[in-house]
Structure 1
Amino acid sequence: MSSLARWCHRHRLAVVLVWVGLLFTLGAGVGAAGSAFGNSPTSQDTDSARATALLQQASNSAAAKSGRVVWQLDGARVTEPAAREAMTDALERIADAPGVAAVSSPYTAEGRTQVSEDGGTAYATVAFDRDVDDAQVDHVKELATEPGTARLRIALNGQAFTVNPAPNPIADAMGIVLAFVVLLFVFRAVWVAALPIITAVVGVGTSAITVMLLSHVLTLSDTTLTLGSLIGLGVGIDYALFIVNRHRTHLRAGMAVPESIAKALDTSGRAVLFAGLTVVVALLGMLTLNVGIINGMAVGAAVTVALTVLAAVTLLPALLGMIGVRVLGRAERRELSAHARRSGARPGPWARWAAVVQARPRALGLVALAVLTALACPTLSLRLGASDDGNLPAASTNRQAYDMIAQGFGPGFNGPLVLAVQAPTAADKEAEARLVADLGRVDGVAGAVAAPMKAGQSVGVVSVVPTTSPQSAATSDLIHHLRDTVIPRAEQGTSMKVYVGGVTAGNDDFASVLMSKLPVFVLVIAVLGFLLLTMAFRSLLIPAVGAVLNILSIGVAFGAIVVVFQYGFGAGLLGLGAGGPIESFVPILVVGIMFGLSMDYQVFLVSRMREEWAHTGDSGRAVRVGQAETGKVIAVAAAIMFCVFGSFVFGGMRVIAEFGVSLAVAVAVDALLIRMVLVPALMHLCGKANWWLPRALDRALPDVSVEGPADGPAHAPRPTREPQTAGVAD
């Protein structure tokens, strides 16, 4: 790493120009090719997947997009002549529009059920051709909303008309500005505040363009870019900060700029590289789940982290070489030029706190453990699913249409269940009719209607409207009741096969699949963390404690999203709708991300302790000094991540806000309670056992040096005087 640092320092202008050229080259590629984001369906063997496949096989139109046009007339029935004439004209023009396959109007004999019983709400279904493009859909939207007036309110929803909230660039900028303010306030040096942000922005910008190009090769979700920015800005600023902080320490000690950069990269740079690789490994580990939407997000986030690490170990040394000693504040530069001695400085607050933890490890450890357990308890009631349009902002046309439908036809009408019925014989068709009659008497079913089957057709479609909303737990219970009891009873003695499908059932199946895999994935992540930390620190106890605490940290992240988004405390104030289930893929991604971030802090904290242990062989002193010298930078790094992650909560996207809340709370708690209280307290209680590793295992494990050449075992520690930690801890 020191050789890389010296090369980047000698060729600093060339390194900067290479990064700038890379940005422009990739940007030109995106300008020419664009992006091709899209959500891929899961390939899981579920009941809803079989229903979809059966319907697609029976009719090509089953897979086409469709949407609803919903309207209400204030103070009057939608069948009054003025409203009827305006909407009939609009629907006729929609039927003639390019890309439209059919329009079902409520003003026809066949569509009379599309008017609510009170006459206050009506809707029309627009079915599109399979090859319809976005421009044609947008044209239909314009035609549908043209008749709207102050009295005639029109809104759109359904798959074809779904409008996802766009990422809010102001939220990204707010996080960056807050990070700059935190760095400037703590370090009182403009370049210390600017360099980590410049490095992170370049890394995230390069990765965003790369991910856009990768979308032509891989199936990547349209939220991949926002998620990558969220993770990349947080880790990118932190990684650069750790290197800059070590560089400043060496400069204050009188080291020349080139040597200081080389030493910083050979110590903190190694830790950054190791931490970044663990995050990438954790993210790519999600590929083992074989879930399309998660695969894309994992690859996109891993690319982002990899490029931010690359920027931290190449671009940052070049920039440090360009600004020289100006990375120190003016007062620090005056001290350095005057050869002032800092040895008489009073211990800083982090050194004093480290001494407090050493003096009272049991009491402080128990308090921290109790707080963490309380914060993680809501995880026990975690419910996965998919939030419906009722959780969108009130100004959204999808939300308005959802509310109109719920008011006129009932909440379950927003997410009907679609039963695919395989009925090859006449007896099976009779069994289907009996099933429809039985469904109307099932608790939780508002109504069930079978579409007429044409002659020679063997696949029927039954629409079942629940009495509850698509995201309701009662709807999920109804799905399981139909599959476990009602449908098997109807199939008995026949060759009829019935599968429960539709968007609502598909979301429920997706949540069940991921929930079943979540415990195994957490266990795999914990074992992976144990192995990586064992190689890094040549210890068994530290990795074991780290693995357990990583799980506790993930529990805190889950607890935060359950309280805010499932219980609904504060979600409404943020404009993110009422309480509802947590998006199914969020916990899986949070596990991978929080594992990596927790490993980051563990590596930066314990590597400094390990370095001191290698010099002295005094475990208590090593833990205290390591905590004192990394406390400030870990706290600042956590504050920066909290600002960056927290800013994404205000972006208007519920899924991204779930990531923002969970990661912001978990990072703050992980840094301040786990790394600054619980880890050092446990290590003080364990003493020299922290560093024990069987000799046979030590020889078998590969040698991974996190803190450079000095990071070796303390076979013969030399006695040293108590170090002065004030210069780096306060």
Structure 2
Amino acid sequence: MTLRRLTNTAIRRRSWIIGFWLILAACFTPLAAKLPDVLGDHGLETDGQYADVQRLLSQELRMPEEPVIVLFHNHDGRSSRSFGQSIANTMSRIGQISGTLVASSPLERPEMLQGEYAYATLAILPGSMEDKQLALERIRGVLTNSGDVKATLTGKPVVQQDVNRLSRTDLQAAEAVGLPIAFGLLVFALGGLLPAVLPLAAGGITVIVSMGMMCLIGQYSGLSLSVFVYNVIPMVGMAVCIDFALLMVSRFREERQGQKADEALRRTMITSGRAVTISAGCVALALLGTLYVRMPIFNTVALGTLVVLAVSMLVNLTFVPALLYALRGRLASRRERPHPSGRLWRTLANAVMRRPAAAVTFAMGFLLICMFPIRSLEVGVPGPQSLPQSQESRLAAEAFALHFQPSSVSQVWLAVKEGPGSRQAVESIRHELLRDPYVVQADIKEGHLAGGQGHRWISVWLQGDKAANTTMQWLRERDRQYADLDVKIGGEPKYDQEVHDEVFGRMKHVLLFVVLSNFLVLAAAFRSLFIPVKAIAMNLMSIAASFGLLSWLFQGGRFGIEATDIAIMIPVFIFGLTFGISMDYGIFLLSRIYEGYGETRNNDRAIREGLTASGSIIASAAAIMIAVTAPFALADVSGVKQLGIGIAAVVLLDATIVRMLLVPALMKCFGKWNWWLPFVRS
């Protein structure tokens, strides 16, 4: 269906269209509220050796795949006997909880007791996410924290439960701050309360329907949705949909000056509607590129964002036009009053056109300064440190690591398949490992499976942190060394190495797909070779500059932020989301320039008029995007904080330095070559 036909449908069937979306939103509201209940963990999982070894360790060495750790602290110096009795009482109560098994206890293994600290490990039996959450709550309920002995929970399941809970409160806090600011900006940009309500209503419907759809997908598809879906859908849905709707409403009110409502709506749809369609296509292609990284966190977040993008486009091409026409009499722009910021943007356009070389030099220099800290960018797999420093599960994890897991060493497991000659093979591998200067200790462990069906195990302790580059390189070398043997490698260092290799090993495929696909879309849309190249290069520069700012801010611990590495998924998220989102502003600007050039064939005039006409909308759209995403800087979960700040930084740089200075200056320098496409007549 063409944009013209959509316009005619919106005019003739406006009441049906508006009613359909309102009823759909009402039906999906209960489902949207249930979305947190169907979410899984973060989804940083690989289909590699680590998962296989964890499963085998559980079967053969009775080690839980994801243990829950109960940390006991005898902080008042009770006697060993009294401390042991307190532990025994607690473990007895835990043992009576259904769905829970005690995997190991300090009462049976003295090495699990060090001074005033002791720990036990628990296994949560397989079941639904709701069953596992309920089991954790029951464990918390039986922990006794007397004045002398304190028992706290930690471990991956506990940390993830806290991340899920805090993610919900982070979203509520961000919405409480961001939405009123966004509404105020809409009122200012559109000059009235009623026009400002339209984009906000469109954004609300988009988010509700999208979250409801993802709830259905999580319930009935068997797909484990990453917890990040819960934050990304509202963040992206409100920001993108409001920007699209702002463009539509603003253009309609502009076209209403001197035209009837139906003709103004048709003009709006073939100009701004076209820009929305192209923008949505570019965002979708950027998100599809992240699917090359074969991990649930990227696949499900990409799926959720594609859903919200599709709903946003449909809302803006059906609901918004229908609402514009239904309210046409009350949305008419005041004819005699010029655009309040038109003079400012015309002055800026004239300054850039007079001195394009100076504008390019300033903009490029500023972006390069922002990029400079990217040299020291360090990424890591998020763990308990992603939680606030006061969070109980993080404090327990840090105390456990301090007393029972020295950071100077890390443990790796080697599983050798039972078979003829396997005993000799294990001894040979162990002796070879002991000659390795990087190996501190290597011990053989016996499994519990009989009949030669299991594995022979080697516990290897390595020098250095589990996430150190030297540790990961050692593991890669062992993979190559044991490639022809029936040997699997596991342990937390292997997990970090597999996640790191999956993300960075596939980024070249992501980049290639996103760049080529966006180039083809933009070349076809604007009939130009230079414009797509420039747009893509500018996007990459904005994103690189934001990475530099993130590194400077988080790794340097500026402005009271705890010094920490960037979560490994954040650069991929920022690239996938902002490459397309920042393209919106480029398309808003280029569409007006392209429109003007098509009418006048005068490059300089088209650039000047395009910047004058779109500058206010781009600034307003960017301000709204920042208002929606920047409040996530207040989040308690560091990954959410990094994502919100990263997106806001890209948008700010792209909408100001790039779109207002660099793009028009470069287009001035290239003149008629802006519109050259081989084998196509201009």
Name the CA distance, whole Å, in 1 between partners of 2:403 and 2:45: 36
The superposition leaves residues 190-219 of structure 1 with CA deviations (integer Å, 9 ceiling, x where unpaired) of: 123222111111111111111111122144
Whether the aligned pair in 1 keeps the contact of 2:382 and 2:568 (CA below 8 Å) is no
Return the match for 2:360 from 365, 385, 399: 365
Query: Is 1:204 paired with 2:207?
Result: yes
Q: 1:270 corresponds to which residue?
A: 274
Return the match for 1:123 from 90, 105, 119: 119
Sequence identity of aligned pairs in percent? 28
Q: 1:104 corresponds to which residue?
A: 104
User: CA distance change for structure 1 residues 25 and 135 in 2, over 3 Å: closer, same or farther?
Assistant: same
User: CA distance change for structure 1 residues 390 and 449 in 2, over 3 Å: closer, same or farther?
Assistant: farther
Whether the aligned pair in 2 keeps the contact of 1:522 and 1:551 (CA below 8 Å) is no
Name the CA distance, whole Å, in 1 between partners of 2:302 and 2:492: 24
- What is the deviation of 1:128? 3.2
Q: 2:154 corresponds to which residue?
A: 157
Name the CA distance, whole Å, in 1 between partners of 2:287 and 2:244: 17
Whether the aligned pair in 2 keeps the contact of 1:94 and 1:103 (CA below 8 Å) is no
- What is the deviation of 1:59? 3.6
Q: 1:502 corresponds to which residue?
A: 491
Query: Is 1:382 paired with 2:371?
Result: no
Query: Is 1:560 paired with 2:560?
Result: no
Residue 145 of structure 2 aligns to which amino acid in structure 1? G
Query: Is 1:451 paired with 2:479?
Result: no
The superposition leaves residues 624-676 of structure 1 with CA deviations (integer Å, 9 ceiling, x where unpaired) of: 11111111110111111111111122232222222211111011101101111
User: CA distance change for structure 1 residues 609 and 560 in 2, over 3 Å: closer, same or farther?
Assistant: same
Q: 1:521 corresponds to which residue?
A: 510
- What is the deviation of 1:301? 0.4
SS for the counterpart of 1:417 is strand
- What is the deviation of 1:63? 6.2
Residue 153 of structure 2 aligns to which amino acid in structure 1? L
Q: 1:703 corresponds to which residue?
A: none
Return the match for 1:531 from 514, 517, 520: 520
Whether the aligned pair in 2 keeps the contact of 1:384 and 1:515 (CA below 8 Å) is no
Whether the aligned pair in 1 keeps the contact of 2:292 and 2:506 (CA below 8 Å) is no
Query: Superposition RMSD on alpha carbons, in Å?
Result: 3.1
Query: Is 1:595 paired with 2:597?
Result: no
The superposition leaves residues 97-131 of structure 1 with CA deviations (integer Å, 9 ceiling, x where unpaired) of: 212233422123xx110112xx0211111123334
Name the CA distance, whole Å, in 2 between partners of 1:296 and 1:75: 47
Q: 2:39 corresponds to which residue?
A: 37
Return the match for 2:186 from 166, 183, 188: 183
Name the CA distance, whole Å, in 2 between partners of 1:269 and 1:387: 40
The superposition leaves residues 319-359 of structure 1 with CA deviations (integer Å, 9 ceiling, x where unpaired) of: 2233334336xxx64xx4xxx4759x996101100000000
Name the CA distance, whole Å, in 2 between partners of 1:388 and 1:414: 18
Name the CA distance, whole Å, in 1 between partners of 2:194 and 2:648: 25
The superposition leaves residues 283-312 of structure 1 with CA deviations (integer Å, 9 ceiling, x where unpaired) of: 123334433331111111001011011111
Name the CA distance, whole Å, in 1 between partners of 2:288 and 2:668: 35
Return the match for 2:195 from 192, 198, 202: 192
Runs of 5+ unmatched residues, structure 2: none
User: CA distance change for structure 1 residues 172 and 468 in 2, over 3 Å: closer, same or farther?
Assistant: farther
Query: Is 1:285 paired with 2:289?
Result: yes
User: CA distance change for structure 1 residues 113 and 360 in 2, over 3 Å: closer, same or farther?
Assistant: same
Q: 1:477 corresponds to which residue?
A: 470
SS for the counterpart of 2:102 is strand
- What is the deviation of 1:435? 6.1
Query: Is 1:302 paired with 2:306?
Result: yes
The superposition leaves residues 588-647 of structure 1 with CA deviations (integer Å, 9 ceiling, x where unpaired) of: 232221221132111111111111111111111111111111111101111111111111
- What is the deviation of 1:539? 0.9
- What is the deviation of 1:506? 1.1
Whether the aligned pair in 2 keeps the contact of 1:120 and 1:408 (CA below 8 Å) is no
User: CA distance change for structure 1 residues 49 and 98 in 2, over 3 Å: closer, same or farther?
Assistant: closer
- What is the deviation of 1:256? 2.7
SS for the counterpart of 2:506 is helix
- What is the deviation of 1:30? 6.8
Return the match for 1:234 from 219, 234, 239: 239
Query: Is 1:579 paired with 2:573?
Result: no
- What is the deviation of 1:498? 4.4
- What is the deviation of 1:32? 9.6
User: CA distance change for structure 1 residues 166 and 99 in 2, over 3 Å: closer, same or farther?
Assistant: same
- What is the deviation of 1:383? 3.2
User: CA distance change for structure 1 residues 154 and 607 in 2, over 3 Å: closer, same or farther?
Assistant: same
Q: 2:174 corresponds to which residue?
A: 171
Name the CA distance, whole Å, in 2 between partners of 1:127 and 1:414: 25
- What is the deviation of 1:502? 2.4
Whether the aligned pair in 1 keeps the contact of 2:543 and 2:579 (CA below 8 Å) is yes
User: CA distance change for structure 1 residues 488 and 636 in 2, over 3 Å: closer, same or farther?
Assistant: closer
User: CA distance change for structure 1 residues 488 and 671 in 2, over 3 Å: closer, same or farther?
Assistant: closer
1:422-437 maps to which residues of 2 (within 5 A)? 422=417, 424=419, 425-431=422-428, 434=431
Return the match for 1:312 from 311, 316, 326: 316
Q: 2:84 corresponds to which residue?
A: 84
Name the CA distance, whole Å, in 1 between partners of 2:313 and 2:245: 8
1:336-351 maps to which residues of 2 (within 5 A)? 336=335, 340=336, 348-351=343-346
Whether the aligned pair in 2 keeps the contact of 1:612 and 1:626 (CA below 8 Å) is yes
User: CA distance change for structure 1 residues 284 and 357 in 2, over 3 Å: closer, same or farther?
Assistant: same
Name the CA distance, whole Å, in 2 between partners of 1:125 and 1:258: 69
SS for the counterpart of 1:326 is coil
Whether the aligned pair in 1 keeps the contact of 2:84 and 2:107 (CA below 8 Å) is yes
Q: 1:616 corresponds to which residue?
A: 600
Query: Is 1:257 paired with 2:261?
Result: yes
Residue 610 of structure 1 aligns to which amino acid in structure 2? Y
SS for the counterpart of 1:648 is helix
Return the match for 2:19 from 5, 17, 40: 17
Q: 1:717 corresponds to which residue?
A: none
SS for the counterpart of 2:107 is coil
Query: Is 1:690 paired with 2:674?
Result: yes
Query: Is 1:627 paired with 2:606?
Result: no
Name the CA distance, whole Å, in 1 between partners of 2:409 and 2:640: 24
SS for the counterpart of 2:70 is strand
